[in-house]
Structures are given as structure tokens and as C-alpha cells.
Amino acid sequence: MTTATPSSKVLEFNNTTVRRNLPTAELIELAVLRGEGRLASNGALNVDTGARTGRSPADKFLEDTPAIHDTIDWGKVNQPISAENFARLESLACEYLDRREELFRFDGYAGADPDYRLKVSVITEEAWHCLFAKTLFINAEREALDGFEQDWTVINACNLRIKDYESYGLKSDLAVIQSLEQRKVIIIGTRYAGEMKKSIFYAMNYDLPDMGVFPMHCSANVAKDDDTNVALFFGLSGTGKTTLSADPNRALIGDDEHGWSDSGVFNVEGGCYAKCIGLTAETEPQIYNAIRFGSVLENVVLDDATREPDYDDGAKTENTRVTYPVSFIDDARIPSVGNHPKNVLFLTADAFGVLPPVAKLTPAQAMYYFINGYTSKLAGTEAGVTEPQPSFSPCFGGPFLPRPPMVYARMLADQIKKHHSDVWLLNTGWTGGPYGEGSRFKLKYTRAFVTAILDGSLREVEFETEPFFGLHIPVEVHNVPRDVLNPRNTWKNPEAYDEKARDLARRFRENDSKYDVDDAVRQAGPKV
């Protein structure tokens, strides 16, 4: 029997039909007919990803070759797999797919700026995965499909299980393996679609620096009446990156992944991938209204009779998601490009309750808090976690960085210096005490901080310096009570605040010891 040839640039499957770049409606119809999902009452396709409802970082591996070895930050995130085992797994996946009745292919782009975009082909065994790619990435023009030669290939064999996985150097019967040299991603054994999205972001994080472009795990928007008023929002999951960038008074550029070139910023993707848990029309109207025919819901519970989504139900997972094209957001910027940002915001959800809700950072502080990438894990989210635990992810995107974090931190420093961007730390976490005692900052206060930053008024107010982290806190912000601004003032017991602040400061210092940063940057961190 003739099998697929995994080494070919344009993959060919000889024993199956590959259905290429099908229209959205046809992909949805096929997904429903094949039993992959069902339509929710709002028209979105709702799917269940099975046992894996999030990424599988322990099962992600990078092909180790001489050409890229010395450029990679090897370790827990970047786990090596030999070239031999990569080739064996690629052949296994391709031979499996070539036995399917039909496959689906999407051809498009990563990168809204034509000067820096990469061509991407995604081959899937399930129709809804192809729809996900069509929704999330940038669709190629019809005339560009003739002779389309991809830069990156994603092969998704989601239902294949790897027997004797240890013989391949793996940890389980699923794997996400990537080759930076061959520009390929092979996904085996997981239906979670976010693996496709993040693998291409990982690819851009390797390729863009060689093009002189700073890749960023951030959202971006721009004032509707001022093209020069661009803002970036860096943050880990749960900090508000998507929520705060979806602003009815501003045009969305993108919600998660961007590049910053000499021309300005551009979205890596053509869609958004928003969390759904707790979603309401009142708190996040733009996201809520974007969920309609053409969008994909993952692991959201539907009422059996009405098919109405229950966004409060986390029975399957707290990581419920929706994917929709950027164009589903009213007044989104299409194409998704913008000028150099005036403001850069670092978002953190501090469950210790000690960081201020907003602070202006010096350039050295900006580099320090970027390289540390702090937020919190909450009690009960993982076995053995009984109290809030600090979570440090370098550059607010550690799982997606093939190169050493300092490469990206220096690119940030160069860009904010060159373009005179202001940098802010915005805490969307807890006030009045730690998680379990205090309360989460009100979203209306957080939006007031963002408004004051983006309209320029916060630059003009008086600031005071708090003693533990050396952060510059405004003494007043329009529409926010003064007693909210300094976190120590919100605690019933100020001495308890001091103890908790010292605790978090020590944890920052333990984390920053991992990085070879300049003295000025290290001195910009907390005082212990």
C-alpha cells in the first residue's frame, strides 16, 4: 500500500480525500453530521474535547537538531526529542491519517502584516478542527491558494493513540511535537484545539526575532478616533487580557498574540480564543455577542432541551473557550495592524492582595516585571495547593518561548525606549486581604484605571512610592475611591499586610535569581 510521504513540502495523502479550504457553513454541517459537535441556541458549534480540556505541556517536545540546539532554552518547557523519533512519530501520524475516509485542510496565514506573515497549512481528521483553524488564523485570498506553499505545516491526528510510547521517548500515549528546522507540528492523541493555536505562536516566537520583530503574548487595541493611541495588554490566563482589550470605545487589533516591528504592531492571528466561564452579556458584551454561527464553543455545557449555553457551569472544565473571527467584534481593526503603542500594560491577578491596583513602571521596572511575569495560582486549583501560590512565567508567556527569556526581555526594552511607550502594572486580583479573605478588584475600577491610562490623564497625577516593591502609585484616579489605590490601606490589619508583602517580595527575589539581568534591572525589583 502507498502511504503518505511525510518528508514532502506539500503533504500528499494517496489513499484518502483531502477536502481543502471548505466554506464555514459546510464545515459546520459536516461536524454536526459526523457527530463531532452540535449547534448551540446562539448558532455556535459546541464541541467536547474529551479528556484533555487544556494544553498538555508535559507532552510537548521539540526536535533537537544541531541547527537550532544552541538557540533554545532547553528545560521543562522546551523538552528535546531526537530527530529519529520525530521522524518515526511523523510517519506514524501520516500513515494513520492516510487510512481515514477523508481529511480536512486549511491554508492561510499567521501575521496580519504582509511583510512578516508566514503561510500555514493545517491538516486535520475532524471537520471542527479545520473550522477552528479557519476561524483562528488569517484566511488566504482565493487567488492565493493556487500554488500555495506553506512555511509551517500542522498535522493533527487527534484520535490516534501511541502504543509503546516510551520507545519514542514520550511520557504518555499523546504527543505534541514540533520541528523548528522542518517547520512542522505533529499533534497526536488530543482533541484540544488550543494546541494548534499555541504551536504556531511558538513558531512565531522563534521565527520573528530573526526578522527583527518582537513577538508578544498580549492583546492590543486602538482608539477609534486616534490611530496613534495603541495599547498592549500583557498577561497570563485569567488576568483580563481578552476582557480589557474588548472595549466598546476602542477598536480591537487582537486578543492574544502580536508582533512589534519597526512599522508598528500586528496581530499574529485572525481570530480570538476567549474564556467563557462566568461570561455574561452585561460584563463582557463584545465577547458575548461574538458567539454566533461561525464560532466554536469548547466544553461549554448546553441545556439538553433548549441547547442554551450555561457559561457558569464548569462541570467539564473551568477552561471553557470560544473561538471567533476578529471581525465578529464590532469595529475591530481589519486588517489587524496598528501603530507603535503609547501604553503597555502588564496584567497580574495577585491573590496575595498586596500589589497596588495600578502603578507606573520605570524602564528598569518594566524589564524586571516582564522577565518575572507574575500572577497567582489559587487554592484548590491543583492538588496540594492550600493557599495562594505565586506563578512566574517569563515574559508573560513562558510555555511558548523557545529562546531564552532574556532575548525577548531585551527586545521589549529596546522597543519601549525607541518609541517612548509608557509601561504600567495593573493588578486585577485581590484587595483588602488575600484570596479567601479579601475581594477581587471590581471590574469597573479596573476599567477606570485603563481609561485613565489610555486617555493620558493618569500621566498627569501625583504619585507616591510604596516601600516593598518600589512601585509608583497614583494618589487619585477619576471614578475610583482613594482608599483603593494603596493596598495597605485596604487591609484591616496593616501589619498582616506588611508580612504578606515581604513574603511575596522574597518569592520575586527567589525567581529573579534564575535570570542574568543587569544590576539596574535587578535593583528595580522588590526590597527584602
Tens digits of per-residue pLDDT, 104-119? 999 999 999 999 999 9
Residue-range definition of the domain harbouring residue 519: 344-523
Average pLDDT over residues 410-433: 97
CATH of the domain at 352: 3.90.228.20
220 in Cβ contact with 227 (< 8 Å): no
Domain C-terminal end among 183, 210, 237: 210
Q: Is the pLDDT of residue 11 over 80?
A: no
Q: Which amino acid is at 114?
A: P
pLDDT at 388: 63
Q: Rounded to an integer, what distance in angstroms lies between the CA atom of residue 526 and that of residue 397?
A: 22
**In this predicted structure, which of 44-53, 389-398, 461-470 has the lowest mean pLDDT?**
389-398
Higher-scoring residue by pLDDT: 385, 161:
161
Instruction: Kindly state whether residue 186 falls inside one of the protein's structural domains.
Output: yes
Q: What is the pLDDT of residue 6?
A: 45
**Crossing angle for the helix pair 24-33 and 127-136, to the nearest 10 degrees:** 150
Query: 24 in a domain, yes or no?
Result: yes
pLDDT reported for residue 316:
94
Query: In terms of DSSP bridges, do strands 102-110 and 17-20 run parallel, antiparallel, or are they unpaired?
Result: parallel
Structure confidence by residue, pLDDT tens digits, 447-473: 999 999 999 999 999 999 999 999 999
Q: What is the pLDDT of residue 242?
A: 85
Region 358-380: mean pLDDT is: 89
For residue 246, what pLDDT is reported? 87
Query: What average pLDDT does range 124-152 have in this prediction?
Result: 95
Does the structure show a pLDDT above 50 at 23?
A: yes
Torsion angle, CA of 142/147/150/156, rounded to 10 degrees?
70
Strand partners, 154: 122, 185
One-letter amino acid at 111 equals: G
Residue 358's region, left for phi above 0, alpha for psi from -120 to 50, else beta, is beta
> Which residue matches cell numbers 458549534?
45
% of the chain exceeding 90 in pLDDT: 89
- Residue 7 pLDDT class (50, 70, 90 cuts): very low
In a domain, 492, yes or no: yes
CB contact at 8 A, 336 and 266? yes
| Phi, psi of 473, rounded to the nearest 5 degrees | -105, 130
**Active-site annotation, residues:** 55, 198, 217, 237, 241-242, 256, 321
3-state secondary structure of 514: coil
14 — pLDDT class (breaks 50, 70, 90): confident
> What is the Cα–Cα distance from 156 to 177, expressed in whole angstroms?
11
- Burial environment of residue 75 by CB neighbours within 10 A (0 to 12, 13 to 18, 19 or more): exposed
Arithmetic mean of pLDDT, 30-44 = 98
Domains: count for the chain? 2
Average pLDDT score, the chain? 94
Q: How many residues does the chain have?
A: 528
Residue 347 zone, left/alpha/beta (φ > 0; ψ -120 to 50; rest): beta
Q: Please report whether residue 103 resides in a domain.
A: yes
Lowest pLDDT segment from 5-9, 298-302, 333-337, 351-355? 5-9
Confidence at residue 390, expressed as pLDDT on a 0 to 100 scale: 83
498 and 349 in a common domain: yes
Contacts of 65 (CB under 8 A, 6+ apart): 83, 179, 181
405-419 vs 363-372: helix axis angle to the nearest 10? 150
**What pLDDT, on a 0 to 100 scale, did the predictor assign at position 2?**
35
Position 408 scores a pLDDT of: 96
102-110 and 138-139: which strand pairing?
antiparallel
User: For position 12, what pLDDT does the model report?
Assistant: 74
CATH at 65: 3.40.449.10
pLDDT at 379: 42
Record the cell numbers describing residue 168, joined without a space.
519514542
Rounded Cα distance between 515 and 513, Å, is 5
Residue 187: its H or E element: strand 184-188
- Please say which residue of 210, 229, 252 terminates a domain: 210
Closest CA relative to residue 45, chosen from 22, 24, 23: 24
Section 157-168 average pLDDT? 97
Beta bridge partners of 337: 266
Rounded distance between C-alpha atoms, residue 252 and residue 293, angstroms: 20
**Does the pLDDT of residue 510 top 80, yes or no?**
yes
Q: Cell numbers at residue 350, please?
A: 495577585
What is the mean predicted confidence (pLDDT) over 238-243?
86
Least confident of 8-12, 107-111, 223-227, 485-489: 8-12
Q: Report yes or no on 333 lying in a domain.
A: no
**Angle in degrees, 0-180, between the axes of helices 194-210 and 405-419, rounded to the nearest 10:** 70
Instruction: Evaluate if residue 88 carries a pLDDT over 60.
Output: yes
Integer CA distances (angstroms), 130 to 109, 212, 366, 445, 450, in order: 14, 31, 39, 40, 36
Q: Looking at 194, 210, 226, which one is the last position of a domain?
A: 210
Residue pair 425/458 in contact (Cβ under 8 Å)? The answer is: no
Position 387 scores a pLDDT of 61
Q: How confident is the model at residue 9 (pLDDT cuts 50, 70, 90)?
A: very low
Please name the residues in contact with 257: beta carbons below 8 A apart, sequence gap of 6 or more: 201, 204, 215, 216, 217, 218, 267, 268, 269
Q: Is residue 331 part of a domain?
A: no
Triad 154, 55, 100: Cα angle to 5°: 40
Specify the pLDDT at position 5: 44
Q: Is residue 121 part of a domain?
A: yes
Q: For cell 544590576, what's the residue?
A: 519
B/e letters for 366-390, b = 16+ CB within 10 Å, e = fewer, are bbbbbbbbbbbbbeeeeeeeeebbb
Predicted confidence band of residue 237 (pLDDT cuts 50, 70, 90): confident
Rounded to two decimals, what is the model's pTM?
A: 0.93
Q: How far is CA 524 from CA 89, 366, 481, 520, in A?
A: 46, 9, 28, 6
Residue 459 within any structural domain of the chain: yes
